Amino acid sequence: MDERQKQVLFLQRLNEITARATKNGNQISESELSEAFADLALSEAQDKQVRDYLKSKRIGVGEALSFEEVTTNEERDYLTDYVQMLEMIEVPSGNVLDAVRLSAMAGEAEAQKKLVEYSLKKVVDIAKLYVGQGVFIEDLIGTGNEALTIAAGQLAPLEKPDEVDGYLGRRIMDAMEDLIAQNLDEKAVEKEVEERVNLVADRAKELSQILGRKVSVQEIAREYEMDIEDIQEAVRLSGNAIGDIS
């Protein structure tokens, strides 16, 4: 295997381990990392390069990164201000809170509104569990608050007030997990589009350099045995920005 082949394989493995970590809550084990690059015999400098890259993507190796490591200064500033605002809400306890829960379960709109206000801190605590997975904490909290508001109006099937918190927590978590999954799907589509465009752009550049002029879609298809429709789609996705195609 020559150096170019090693470099291509290195980048491929790096993309694979990044994708795996993203699906695993932005975390991979030391053994997974070692196995991914075992046949490449990475130098100490290359190993550090990989770890630094993963950290830049908010991916922990061996253990999850700390809250400070997976959030930006802007996110932490937002969270500080938001939590300070929530501190102004006085949350009752004991029988008073149970009475609110029971009233909300009975469908009383004012009680449901109060229950949402009393549960906003829970949304923040849950959002902290999901940071570093590709979604800003502000978006996690916004999605959690929306799920909380909807769930507070759907408590009728519950039998006891002590079931309320668990139910609301599950609905909030489900909403945040759906948001993260949707974000991952969108990124996967974006990556696929980028790869398709780059492939056609590389082929066009290579053939253009050989012929000394811009090339047509048909020439690329014929030279590289590619479907004309795929090339045309890549050109369209690029916004007609592949300069070597006439």
Phi and psi of 118, rounded to 5°? Answer: -70, -20
Average pLDDT (98-126) is 96
Q: State the pLDDT at residue 1.
A: 59
Phi and psi of 136, rounded to 5°? Answer: -65, 145
- pTM (predicted TM-score): 0.64
Give the model's confidence band at 35: pLDDT under 50 very low, under 70 low, under 90 confident, else very high: confident
Q: Is 239 left (phi over 0), alpha (psi -120 to 50) or beta?
A: left
- Residue 108, pLDDT > 90, answer yes
The share of the chain scoring above pLDDT 90, in percent, equals 39
pLDDT tens track for 205-214: 888 888 888 8
Residues with Cβ within 8 Å of residue 165, at least 6 apart in sequence: 119, 122
Q: State the pLDDT at residue 2.
A: 66
Question: E strand or H helix at 68, and its extent?
Answer: helix 67-70
Query: What does the alpha-carbon distance between residue 62 and residue 54 come to, in Å, rounded to a whole number?
Result: 12
Query: What does the alpha-carbon distance between residue 25 and residue 106 come to, in Å, rounded to a whole number?
Result: 38
* Contact criterion met (CB below 8 Å) for 228 and 218: yes
Mean pLDDT in the chain? 86
Query: What does the alpha-carbon distance between residue 58 and residue 48 come to, in Å, rounded to a whole number?
Result: 15
* Contact criterion met (CB below 8 Å) for 204 and 224: no
pLDDT tens track for 182-241: 887 777 777 778 888 888 888 888 888 888 888 888 888 888 888 888 888 888 888 888
Query: What does the alpha-carbon distance between residue 9 and residue 220 come to, in Å, rounded to a whole number?
Result: 25
Task: Return the DSSP state at 135.
Answer: S
Q: State the pLDDT at residue 55.
A: 78
* Contact criterion met (CB below 8 Å) for 204 and 240: no
